Amino acid sequence: MKRVKIKDILQKGEPGNEVVVKGWVRTKRGSKNVNFIALNDGSIIHNLQVVVDVDNFDDSLLRDINTGAALSVSGKLAESAGSGQAIEMIAEKVELLGGADPDKFPIQPKRHTLEFLRENAHLRFRTNTFSAVFRVRHAMAFAVHKFFNEKGFNYLHTPIITASDAEGAGQMFRVSTLDAKNPPLTDEGEVDYTQDFFGKATNLTVSGQLEGELGALALGEIYTFGPTFRAENSNTTRHLAEFWMIEPEMAFYDLKDNMDLAEEFLKSLIKYALDNCMDDLQFLAGRLKQEEKSKPQNQRSMDLIEKLEFVLNNNFIRITYSEAIDILINSKPYKKKKFQFPVEWGVDLQSEHERYLVEKHFNCPVILTDYPKDIKAFYMKQNADGKTVGAMDVLFPQIGEIIGGSQREESLEKLETRMKEMNVPAKEMDWYLDTRRFGSVEHSGFGLGFERLILFITGMGNIRDVIAFPRTPKNAEF
């Protein structure tokens, strides 16, 4: 008999069907005559209730059916006599595929903290919460490709190993095959990277953008979706040393087109989750509600599904950096001196300011544009005012910056001037500047932190809980 997934049984199974299921035991309970096994195979958040008539099975077999054990069960589907489920399975043959010693298996049928499960990241997929998170994560990855594919974008694989250190997006991880203890040295006593594997110093990528621009200025629209590495000593709930980023780059797009795309993209992802992951989202919403109960009233957030629907159904607020500064200066917390950091035109906004705008003033996702040029990267489009650049940051409640992007400067002259001012080595970037030398056109792009998106969709609070095996300072387990 062919194995049937529990998802199919729960959605399409008919009483009387003979089936085989394979999965892992979540709990076993029951009385002298009958046992109930909640079996889960990862295909859906719900368990299949397997009913075991104790008289028909070996005592020792039943004893070994503990939480975490893997079983193959064949039997007949039946309408459930209990009230918790519509359909269940009457076991005829039970095979223990792999036991799980209850003294040693750490995931027991009780509430565990996320911190404990994080330390057991290799087993946390076995829990409802994490199986839901990772099914949603998969669905979102698929939805990213679906969105861009339907729009005619090309998925471009930009390099993971790169020699360019030009974007200044953060500290980089060195990639080298030199002997760390005893590297070859130059006459000046510096490490001689000409003898290294690539003949020069190389690092893990912090962004595929620059290479992405090269693709966009020929293919029209491209996007990247791959791992990204930042060797920053960041210890927060929103940062990882290894994370996944999506970076679309589009020729002939100005800043407004860029914003339109970012908003449409985020909404299409949210819609995909609502349309395809409702079971998991409902579970996660319930989990969140439970967690929120312990918080003071004023810190509680909206129901997860309501929040997703709210973002889907409302336009993002679009304001300039300068307008944001005005709003902040006229705000209550500013007047009462509640902000810790100063607010004046020219400073970068702190997260307390962003949170005020998004969570208090507008209570809605916000796109901030046209930042002062001195706090943004060299490649951004210089505005006519001479002071600002065509940057855009999409700010989400709780998460903060979920997207950062800009229109790119297409004028060779302006770009070279800016690079000189900001000490970006133009010589090493000659390949990048060639796009401005030959057939340069206006173009734009942005970067979306994939894990930050998953935080928002799942309502999880810590970025380490939405990636399978988080890499953070002092942590590269598993």
Partner RNA sequence: UCCCUAGUAGCUCAGUUGGUUAGAGCGGCGGACUGUUAAUCCGUAGGUCGUAGGUUCAAGUCCUACCUGGGGAGCCA
Nearest approach, Cβ of 325 to RNA (angstroms)?
16
Going 169 to 456 to 358 to 470, the CA torsion angle's sign is: negative
Q: Which of 207/435 has CB closer to RNA?
A: 207
Residue 436 amino acid letter:
R
Nearest approach, Cβ of 350 to RNA (angstroms)?
3
Q: How far apart are CA 95 and CA 73, in angstroms?
A: 6
Alpha-carbon distance values, 176 to 173, 242, 247 (Å): 10, 18, 26
Task: Count how many Cα atoms sit within 13 Å of the Cα of residue 394 in the half-sphere of its side chain.
Answer: 27
Q: Which of 198/339 has CB closer to RNA?
A: 339
Nearest approach, Cβ of 129 to RNA (angstroms)?
12
Q: Which residues contact 435 (CB under 8 A, 6 or more apart)?
A: 213, 214, 217
Nearest approach, Cβ of 168 to RNA (angstroms)?
7
Nearest approach, Cβ of 114 to RNA (angstroms)?
8
- Residues 416-425: b if buried by 16+ CB within 10 A, e if exposed: bebbeeeebe
Q: Which of 294/297 has CB closer to RNA?
A: 294
Nearest approach, Cβ of 435 to RNA (angstroms)?
20
Task: Count how many Cα atoms sit within 13 Å of the Cα of residue 390 in the half-sphere of its side chain.
Answer: 23
Nearest approach, Cβ of 184 to RNA (angstroms)?
29
DSSP string, 360-392: IIS-S-EEEEEEEGGGS-TTBPBPTTSSEEEEE
Residue 404 amino acid letter:
G
Q: Look at the chain and count its residues.
A: 478
Q: Which of 417/462 has CB closer to RNA?
A: 462
Nearest approach, Cβ of 106 to RNA (angstroms)?
5
Q: How far apart are CA 466 and CA 127, in angstroms?
A: 13
C-alpha angle with apex 444: 440 to 445, nearest 5 degrees? 135
Q: How far apart are CA 408 and CA 390, in angstroms?
A: 8
Nearest approach, Cβ of 83 to RNA (angstroms)?
5
369: nearest Cα among 402, 407, 321: 321
The first and second tokens of residue 97, run together, are 């595929």
Q: How far apart are CA 238 and CA 174, in angstroms?
A: 23
Cβ proximity of 473 and 299 under 8 Å:
no
Q: Which of 67/193 has CB closer to RNA?
A: 67
Q: Which of 149/236 has CB closer to RNA?
A: 236
The alpha-carbon radius of gyration of the chain (Å, integer) is: 27
Q: Which of 140/193 has CB closer to RNA?
A: 140
**How many Cβ atoms from other residues are within 10 Å of residue 251's Cβ?**
22
Nearest approach, Cβ of 433 to RNA (angstroms)?
21
Q: Which of 279/352 has CB closer to RNA?
A: 352
Q: Which of 177/237 has CB closer to RNA?
A: 237
Nearest approach, Cβ of 186 to RNA (angstroms)?
29
The sheet with strand 317-320 has its strands ordered as 154-155, 221-229, 242-251, 443-449, 400-408, 388-396, 366-372, 317-320
Q: Which of 115/275 has CB closer to RNA?
A: 115
Q: Which of 217/448 has CB closer to RNA?
A: 448
